[in-house]
Structure 1
Amino acid sequence: MTSSFLMRRLTPLALAAFMAGCSMMPAYEQPATPVASEYPTNGLTDPGLQGGEGQQLARWQDFVDNAQLRELIDLSLSNNRDLRVATLSIEQARAQYSLAGAGPFPTISAGLSAQRQSTGGGSGNDSTISSSYAGGLMVSSWEIDFFGRLASLTEAARANFLSTAYAREAVQTSLIASVASAWLNLQTATAMVELTEQTLQTREESQKLTQLRFDSGVASALEMRQAESLTASARATLAEQLRLRAQAVNALTLLVGQTIEPRLLQASDLPLDVFADVPAGLPSDLLIRRPDIQQAEWSLRSANANIGAARAAFFPSISLTASAGSASSHLSDLFSSGTFGWSLAPQALLPIFDAGRNRANLRGAEAARDIAVAQYEKSIQSAFSEVADALAGRATLGNQLQAQQDLVEAEQQRYELSDLLYRSGVASSLDALDAQRSLFAAQQAVLQTRSTLLANRVALYRVLGGGWNDQQDLSAVAAEPASESVGSGSE
């Protein structure tokens, strides 16, 4: 196959590309949403499971109704190293975008060149040495982007930059939720320690009374050992809860990124309104709100643009080398009058044989696009599942907490009655000890369920895309100068 035949075959394609805007990049088509249009109810009744326009989620400062926690979140947004890395990654992606954006423009340099050349086949007087000198402005290998290769690379870099910007917002959203959850774990562990200390004190008093009754021959050895067992169990539980509280402080310190002042670690009674409840009805713009889904979509756009660059490699590459300035055969006369000269050297290269490199590169770009589509669809499916799980929790945890609070009230009355009968000598201490154990377990369950309910609110706020400025269109920052900040940390 001759080059002239190839040129005849490729010329109509090249002309079509030029008429279409000189771009080989395929038009971007957003994939269809691979989830149901409504969240599953699975027999649950909750307003949040019903579709609708819904309300806008509050800013995280309004979502969190605790001054100490708000200060901890502010500190984490300033000091957390993961968020700092994500922010710096934006600057790195911005630099790559600026580098790709400079591709279509020529590089103009000022330079001097000198050349000495020997002509003739002999040596000595038989050879002639000639010299040439040039100085001025030079353009070296400027690629003229007829087929959109450089434009496709620029668009790919821009999409990658925006994907990185949304990735930073996803890290921020996750960080806010993680700090809130870690603070919640600390408060729960602190409440558990206080409850266990009170229980231990009650059991120690009960053991002393049983010991006196045992010494008097009123209580049996079984009752004595039962009292000792419950006291030892409370001590073990207290040691465990103290360890969990220390680990909760360590986890919170890591997220905040600095040593935490003791005043920010003070105990809270964890009212149910410490986190605002997410309004009923789901926002219709869930997929737009979540930054991780935006990140996946811009990664898909970047992969789509890379296909255009791979396609353009099949067409001629046109470049231009030029210079303008002074030229002379003697260095002393280089900038004298009448030495002005210029040169122009266009070049067009058409790939004839490359051992399949361009075709393999195109197949790789298309496969990368298909991978990005699958990742985008998976991010939507994961978001759908996370929201459905969080809504299921909201529909059931309130009722569960109320039932366990009723259980605590019943166990409290049972224990008081059993203890009164025991102290009156009417009933065995085993009944009182069993009631004491059941009451402690019920009180622990209430604290755990309350913590789970509040953690569910944090999770629901996160999976709906809360915690970042959803009004900011990050696609607009691509036109900002590289020195400006992208995706600011606080709202």
Structure 2
Amino acid sequence: MMRVALLSLPLVVLVAGCTVSPAHPGTQAALPPARQSQTIAPASGTAQQVDVGAPPLAQWWRAFGSAKLDALVETALAHNEDLATAEANLRQAQEQARATAGGQGPQADLNYQVQRARVSNALQTPLADQSINLYTLHTAQVTVAYPLDLFGEGRNHVRSARAAAEVAAHRLDAARITAISNLVQAAIQYAALDAQAEATRKAIADNRALVAMLERRRALGDVGLSDVTAQQTVLANAEAALPPLERQRAHQAGLILSLLGRPAGSPLPPLPAMTDLHLPADLPVALPSDVVAHRPDVQAAAAQVRGAAADVGAAMAARLPSITLSGQAGGSATHFADMFASGNPFFSLIGGITQPLFHSGQLLHQKHAADAALDAAKAQYRAAALQAFLDVDDALSGLRTDAAALDAATRADDAASRTLVMTRRQMELGAVGSFALLNASSAASQAAVQRIQATAARLTDTVALFQACGTPVTGK
């Protein structure tokens, strides 16, 4: 029997090379038509050239031309806790994949056992000396086992585990892009809120000066009390607008600190002002096929499809025969030093084959569940690709509309500033009434804030475009 088993072993090993698994799962997504390169050239602000198919910028945040922003990003790459979590998850997934692969190879264990026993006189002692009823038995043995992966169940488990590690790697890339994009956008919002607060403080100072001027004219009898109270109302409204801006700015400060891995309330590092941030003149935009091939969340979804397909293969192989080879060798004696003396060593070789017959539908339904998981993974992949295309489209549309909005806001701010200067001069000369000044002051304050907001929107949507294209983040 042993000779037959040894002669048939090569045939078994050859058969074990077969792998039962579904056909290579398709991860094709319908691609939108490729966009054409274009230039966003507003009358005010920086013109931006959208280069479709151009190589991505490896450190795209440097295109904003702010050394303070570059320093923030480098700090976040080194200390952001979300990135630390993603990196630890990747190491865990990689080690789990290695452990799964190791479980498919030969396993060897060394065992030593000592037994102290007394046998009843009514029973036969297991020792050669039948007169000994009380004895100590020492046994040492090596056990070797090797599961022959006949139809690839183990190999499919390994593929699934490696796909999970690949998912974790892509999620780390996505976490880097998200963390840095959130940080840059938070820095832009902080700078915009700081500029809005400064503009509001200037409006408050101007309105206080106007109130003082009207009070002087009222003392001279040039204007009535209603003119003074109307301007006081405008002043109070401007003062009421400042605390919400400061509250939002404080929130952005806390967000920036958390993204840098620091607790809220800690001293802020140097942050860029609006004048320190410059719109990138060149915007590389990936082709739809490149978005699918390089965006981390889409690639993570593709790896999940491959892992789900491997799980289907494992479920299929679980319903087929499995072969296990095992062997033991050792020695046993009543004295430790005699375990391997003549006559005491022992060995055994065991080969077994198991064919599942009846499991109350368990294995069949596990296969059906794996099929459903594969269908879900394919749908998630298509959804991720569609979301990627939508993100790119939204960012490009936002840049175009932001440019038009900034044009309008710039013209409004320039016109309102000139109007306020002229109206104030006319008021001092008595050519216009206080209501004209009230309208001019309010319009100038609103126009200044809207211009800041429009500028920040162009910067923010530029960041969104880099993020939507899946532009890689490097530089740690």
Q: Which residue of 1 aligns with 2:455?
A: 450
Residue 148 of structure 1: which of 149, 152, 156 is its match? 152
Q: Which residue of 1 aligns with 2:90?
A: 90
Q: Which residue of 2 aligns with 1:177?
A: 181
The alpha-carbon deviation at position 85 of structure 1 amounts to 0.8
Call closer, same or farther: CA 1:414–1:74 in 2, change over 3 Å: same
Q: Give secondary structure in 2 for the equivalent of 1:105.
A: coil
Residue 272 of structure 1: which of 270, 278, 298 is its match? 278
Matched, 1:464 2:469: yes
Range with greater deviation from structure 2 (388-397 or 252-261): 252-261
Residue 212 of structure 1: which of 207, 212, 216 is its match? 216
Q: Which residue of 1 aligns with 2:373?
A: 368
Matched, 1:33 2:29: yes
Superposed, 1:110-125 pairs within 5 Å as 110-113=110-113, 124=121
Question: What's the % identity of the aligned pairs?
Answer: 26
Call closer, same or farther: CA 1:348–1:280 in 2, change over 3 Å: closer
The CA distance in 1 between the partners of 2:353 and 2:116, in whole Å, is: 29
The CA distance in 2 between the partners of 1:319 and 1:19, in whole Å, is: 14
What's the TM-score once normalised by structure 2's chain length? Answer: 0.87
Q: Give secondary structure in 2 for the equivalent of 1:165.
A: helix
Matched, 1:342 2:347: yes
Matched, 1:199 2:219: no
Q: Which residue of 2 aligns with 1:478?
A: none
Alpha-carbon displacement from aligned partner over 1:234-269 (angstroms, at most 9, x marks no partner): 111122222222111111111111266545136341
Q: Which residue of 2 aligns with 1:242?
A: 246
Residue 135 of structure 1: which of 120, 140, 145 is its match? 140
Call closer, same or farther: CA 1:271–1:83 in 2, change over 3 Å: closer
Letter in 2 for 1:27: A
Alpha-carbon displacement from aligned partner over 1:118-142 (angstroms, at most 9, x marks no partner): 99xxx63x420205764232124x3
Letter in 1 for 2:251: Q
Q: Give secondary structure in 1 for the equivalent of 2:126.
A: strand
The CA distance in 2 between the partners of 1:112 and 1:242, in whole Å, is: 72
What's the TM-score once normalised by structure 1's chain length? Answer: 0.84
Does the CA-based 8 Å contact 2:285-2:469 persist in structure 1?
A: no
Letter in 2 for 1:247: H
Does the CA-based 8 Å contact 1:24-1:149 persist in structure 2?
A: yes
Q: Which residue of 1 aligns with 2:130?
A: none
Cα RMSD for the two superposed structures: 2.9
Q: Which residue of 2 aligns with 1:390?
A: 395
Q: Which residue of 2 aligns with 1:301?
A: 306
Number of residues of Structure 1 aligned to a counterpart in Structure 2: 449
Alpha-carbon displacement from aligned partner over 1:68-110 (angstroms, at most 9, x marks no partner): 1111111111211111111100111112101101122121122
Residue 24 of structure 1: which of 20, 25, 43 is its match? 20
Letter in 1 for 2:33: S
Matched, 1:75 2:75: yes
Does the CA-based 8 Å contact 1:210-1:219 persist in structure 2?
A: yes
The CA distance in 1 between the partners of 2:116 and 2:242, in whole Å, is: 90
Does the CA-based 8 Å contact 1:316-1:350 persist in structure 2?
A: yes
Residue 229 of structure 2: which of 219, 222, 225 is its match? 225
Letter in 2 for 1:151: R
The CA distance in 2 between the partners of 1:239 and 1:103, in whole Å, is: 62
Call closer, same or farther: CA 1:276–1:157 in 2, change over 3 Å: farther
Does the CA-based 8 Å contact 1:48-1:281 persist in structure 2?
A: no
Call closer, same or farther: CA 1:384–1:39 in 2, change over 3 Å: farther
Alpha-carbon displacement from aligned partner over 1:360-381 (angstroms, at most 9, x marks no partner): 1111111111111111111101
Does the CA-based 8 Å contact 1:48-1:282 persist in structure 2?
A: no
What runs of 5+ residues in structure 2 fail to find an aligned partner?
Answer: 1-10, 128-136
Letter in 2 for 1:360: H
Q: Give secondary structure in 2 for the equivalent of 1:432.
A: helix
The CA distance in 2 between the partners of 1:280 and 1:139, in whole Å, is: 57
The alpha-carbon deviation at position 345 of structure 1 amounts to 1.3
The CA distance in 2 between the partners of 1:246 and 1:298, in whole Å, is: 40
